[in-house]
Amino acid sequence: MEYFLELVFSGLTRGSIYALIALGYTMVYGIIGLINFAHGEIYMIGAFTALIIATVLNMYGLPLPAVLILAAIAAIVWSAAYGFTVERVAYRPLRGAPRLSPLISAIGMSIFLQNYVMLAQTPNFLPFPTLIPEPAFLEPIASMVGTTDLTILLVTTVVMVLLTLLIKFTRTGKAMRATSQDRTMAFLVGVNVDTVISITFVIGSSLAAIGGVLIASHIGQINFYIGFIAGIKAFTAAVLGGIGSIPGAVLGSFVLGLTESFATGYVSSAYEDVFAFSLLVLILIFRPAGLLGKASIEKV
């Protein structure tokens, strides 16, 4: 029973990591129907920016809490800027182009950003500091779940709730929903579609930055390739949950994380990804729009 619980916590930790990245995927997909392959790279850039800024500030002798907060803010600012720029440069000129064009553009952007960071920084792994201290009162459960894990879990939940509220109740959220349902109609009723899409990218990228900082701190090291690997999994999770749906992305991530955890715990970690992808195929066969996605009826 304890083992089972341990596996559940492992699954939830992994799931919440996926979820932080998956939320950005699902938002962008919800608005413009594009698999933003470069999203994982934004996450990676967030982690790099945080590390760079933190190292510099540390050298100038700032106190640790200030370093942490400033580095996290820098990561968010720059990731958002990258997300915004990527959309402007690589996706906006392709509105209305055949469906495959933006996808190829996204793959190209992903390759470009990976190599950009590799060349400008380093191909090697860099150590990333542990940001969140482990207080003594959590020691009894430390063997099951760490402080960083709990923080990630908490942040994921808060972010999901905030996002859902944002989309349900704010003006921007309404504009987003309108844009995602029918871009032309949204434009006709006075929604500034370009701005809404830019806002979506900025929000999604900021989330990726938060994810980047927390996850890098959990793993303890970063290099230019971390975005790609995590990105593929996060995207799988988003599809599993029903891409375009915010709660779906989180649910899908947890389902994926738990599946992998149980696959490792009771079968073999060598086959965890086989289980993950097989689950994806199975779910899509029975629910073609994912767990919480809405099946769309095409107008004829």
Partner 1 sequence: MNVITIKNFRNALVTALWFMFLTFPIMVIKVNTTENLIVWRWHNLLYVGATAFTASLLTALYRQYRDRKRSQQQQEEGTSRVSWNERFFNTPAIARPVCALGALFFLVFPLLFSTYQVNIMTTALMYVVLGLGLNIVVGVAGLLNLGYVAFYAVGAYTYALLNMHYGVGFWVALPLGGIMAALFGILLGFPVLRLRGDYLAIVTLGFGEIILLVLKNWSEFSQGPGGISNISRPGLFNIQLSMEATLNYQYYLTIAMVLLTIFVINRLQNSRIGRALFALREDEIACQAMGIDKTTIKLTAFALGATWAGLAGVFFAAKNAYINPDSFTFLESAMILCIVVLGGMGSILGVIIGALVLILLPEYLRAFSDYRMLAFGAILVSMMIFRPQGIVANIRQSYRSSKDGAP
Partner 2 sequence: MAKSGKIFPVLASAALLVASVSPSFAAAPIKIGVAGAHSGDLASYGLPTLKGAELVVKDVNAKGGIKGELVELVLVDEQCKPEAAANVATKLVSDNVKAVIGHTCSGPTKAALPIYRDAGIVAISPSATTPELTQSGEYKYFFRTIASDDRQARTMTDFVLEKLAPKKIAILHDKGDYGLGLATYARKFIGESGKAEVVLFEGITVGQVDFSAVIQKIKRSGAEVVIFGGYHPEASKLVSQMRKKRLDAIFVSDDGAKDEAFIKVAGKDAEGVYATGPTDTTKNPLTIEYREKFKKAEGADPGSFFDNGIAATLAIINALDKAKSFTADDVATALRSEKVDTPFGEISFDEHGDPVGIGFNMFVVKDGQYVTAE
Q: Kindly indicate which of the ranges 7-15, 16-24, 141-149, 235-243 contains the residues binding partner 1, using the contact rule CB under 8 A.
A: 235-243
Q: Token pair of 288, please?
A: 């073609």
> Residue 168 and residue 179: Cα distance in Å, rounded?
14
Give me the residue label for tokens 């470069």.
38
| Of 165, 297, 152, 267, residue with least CA distance to 213 | 152
In the chain, alpha helices (H): 2-32, 39-59, 64-86, 100-120, 147-169, 171-181, 183-188, 193-219, 226-241, 246-262, 272-286
Question: Which of residues 2, 99, 135, 188 is near partner 1 by CB under 8 A?
Answer: 99
The entry of partner 1, partner 2, none that residue 201 binds, CB within 5 to 8 Å by partner kind = none
Question: Which of residues 36, 114, 179, 245 is near partner 1 by CB under 8 A?
Answer: 114
Residue 220, sorted as left (phi over 0), alpha (psi -120 to 50) or beta, turns out to be left
Instruction: Decide if residue 17 touches partner 2 (CB under 8 A).
Output: yes
Measured from the CB atom, is 84 or 225 closer to partner 2? Answer: 225
Q: Kindly indicate which of the ranges 4-12, 105-113, 142-150, 190-198 contains the residues binding partner 1, using the contact rule CB under 8 A.
A: 105-113
What dihedral angle (degrees, nearest 10) is formed by the CA atoms of 166, 245, 156, 127?
Answer: -120
Is residue 39 within 8 Å of residue 237, measured between CB atoms? no
> Residue 300 and residue 297: Cα distance in Å, rounded?
9
For partner 1, the binding residues in 32-91 under the rule CB under 8 A are 33, 35, 45, 48-49, 51-53, 55-56, 59, 74, 78, 81-82, 85, 89-90
Measured from the CB atom, is 130 or 157 closer to partner 2? Answer: 130
For partner 2, the binding residues in 126-145 under the rule CB under 8 A are 126-127, 142-144
For partner 1, the binding residues in 253-272 under the rule CB under 8 A are 270-271
CA distances from 87 to 42, 91, 164, 182, 199 (A): 12, 5, 23, 19, 10
Is residue 177 within 8 Å of residue 40, measured between CB atoms? no
For partner 1, the binding residues in 155-174 under the rule CB under 8 A are none
Measured from the CB atom, is 197 or 238 closer to partner 2? Answer: 238
| List of residues contacting partner 2 (CB under 8 A) | 3, 6-7, 9-11, 13-14, 17, 118, 123-127, 142-144, 146, 149, 215, 218-221, 223, 225-226, 229-230, 260-262, 264-265, 268-270, 272-273
Q: Which residues bind partner 1 (CB under 8 A)?
A: 29, 33, 35, 45, 48-49, 51-53, 55-56, 59, 74, 78, 81-82, 85, 89-90, 93-94, 97-105, 107-117, 119-122, 124, 126-128, 232, 235-236, 239, 243, 270-271, 273-274, 277-278, 280-281, 284-285, 288-290, 298, 300
